[in-house]
Structures are given as C-alpha cells and as structure tokens.
Amino acid sequence: MALPNRVKVVEVGPRDGLQNEQQIVPAAIKIELIERLADAGLSVIEATSFVSPKWVPQMADNAEVLAALLASPRRRAGVSYPVLTPNLKGFDAAVEAGAQEVAIFGAASETFSQKNINCSVAESLKRFAAVVNAAGALEIPVRAYVSCVVACPYEGAVAPEKAAWVAQRLLDMGCYEISLGDTIGAGTPASIQRMIEACAAVVPVENLAGHYHDTYGMAIANIYASLELGVAVFDSSIAGLGGCPYAIGASGNVASEDLVFLLQGLGIDCGVDLAGLLAAGRFISAHLGRAPASKAARALLARQGRQ
C-alpha cells in the first residue's frame, strides 16, 4: 500500500507531556506554549485534562488554561483544543470552561484501567457512553484513546484482539477517532502492525490514530510501520515531553519535531512549520531547564547555532 499523502498531527505535549512533569508548569507558560504550537501550524492541540486534581495536580489549572486559549486574541481559526474527560464530572467542568471537543480514555488492560481511572474496563465503557451521549446532545465531537494496545506495565503483552475489542466499542459509541496508545513504548514494527491489522479489521483505518511513547526509541519506526498500513493520524509531544503518571518508566510520546522531520523527509504534507515547532520546543525546554528530548530538534538547533 502507498503511504498516505497527508498526515494529521495531534499535539499532545501540553497534556500528555506536562501531566508527568515533577514541577508544576504555570498556566501562563502552558498558554504561551499552546499558542506557539498553533502558530507553528498545528491544528489539533490537546490542551489539558479534566481529571481529579488529587490524582494529577499538574492539570489542576485546566479551566483557566482552556478558557484563556478560547478567549485569546491570538486564537487561530481552525485550531481545536480537545481536553480529556474521563467521566461526566470532568465533561461538565470542561463544557463549563468552553470545551468544543473532548477525549475519553480507556484501556485494553484491566489492571491499567484500574490504576489509571480507578475502574474496570466494563465500568469505564459505561462512564464513556454517558460522556458520549452528553457530548452528542451538545454536538461536541469525542475522540477516544485505548491505552496498552501492545503491552501493559502490570500485565505484560496484550493480545491485539483486546485492543481491537475496546476500539470497536468506542467507535460504536460514536467516537470519531480511536487513538491507539502504546503507553509504555514497548511495541516494535511487527507487534504494532499486528495490533493495527486487528483494529483495522473492526474500525476503518481512517478512524485510527497512532499514539506511541518513545520509551525504547521505537516510536518513529512504529509510525513508519503504521503509515505502511494506511494510518494517517499520529499523536506527538513537543520536545518529547511526557509519559503517563500511571505507567511507571514510560517516557514521552514521539517528539513532534521528530515526527514532522520524518514526514517532511517522506514528502508527506502535515501543514506544520518545523522552524516554528523548534522555537516552541526550545521555549518549553528552557522553562523546564533542559534540552529537548527530540534528536531532530537537537541536531537542527545545533546547525542553527553554527550558522
């Protein structure tokens, strides 16, 4: 199969990245980061999550961040700011803050579901159905994640059929896109392709997205393997920020700079300006006091420094 001509990049750094930082990043820095990411051409930027502040204090400023972005004079047309909403309480708070798109997040592993959202997979699907119904009444689109699609930090290898089973339930519920999370980055091109094939047998490939953490340095290879099967939506995290607080040892998503460098090299359009992305990555990395985790960013910034 030919590779897709165009790929949608879903930037998740402000949520997936910053939720896992030891230091709590001030709302003003998050807002500036997200606006710089929009300036760089990203059209979907996951802004925050409406989860318990006791569980994830890093996202406690969710309403402040979202409301400021929506009211900003710098706001660009066509840019959406989805937010995570695990249950109706989170959904109601997100709507109150002005959310126009939300995302629910389930798992293919029972133990991970319990550790992450404190309920079984079956119970989570009931909660998600309530969120999707409420969102439908307000014409708010819902994206969905399935975590642990190839491996779980507690249960080990996860059968592709388990990921596909959950993905199908979420699509049937009314979610428009199912993002397949290799939460601990343990997948390799072969296991990722087996998982995508199982999911694509029950969910149209146009509705699938890859969400690959880069713990073992496999994310770019896994994206290429997914492109080969027609997947054309990928989540990435600016400067490679992040991880998941309930998946110990998981590092950040594939860096947005690495993903865009790959796509440019393959001649695949994604509408993102790499120079703008580098500047955004440098901004947040300077705030955190470290170099970007992205190898492409480090090489390109070093080259800029020599010119």
Q: Contact region for ligand HMG (CB under 6 A) — 162-170, 202-210, 226-234, 240-248?
A: 240-248
Which partner in Mg ion, ligand HMG, none is near 90 (CB below 5 to 8 A by kind)?
ligand HMG
Which partner in Mg ion, ligand HMG, none is near 188 (CB below 5 to 8 A by kind)?
none
Q: Contact region for ligand HMG (CB under 6 A) — 1-9, 84-92, 135-143, 281-289?
A: 84-92
Alpha carbon 29 to its chain's center:
19
For Mg ion, the binding residues in 8-67 under the rule CB under 5 A are 16
- The question of whether 244 is a catalytic residue gets the answer yes
Q: Contact region for ligand HMG (CB under 6 A) — 155-163, 168-176, 219-227, 238-246?
A: 238-246
Residue closer to Mg ion (CB basis): 16 or 177: 16
Catalytic annotation, pick one of 148, 175, 199, 244: 244
Q: Is 182 in the site for Mg ion (CB under 5 A)?
A: no
**Which of 48, 109, 116, 285 forms a contact with ligand HMG (CB under 6 A)?**
116
User: Given the rule CB under 6 A, which residues bind ligand HMG?
Assistant: 16, 19, 49-52, 55-56, 86-87, 89-90, 105, 116-118, 145, 147, 181, 183, 211, 213, 244-246
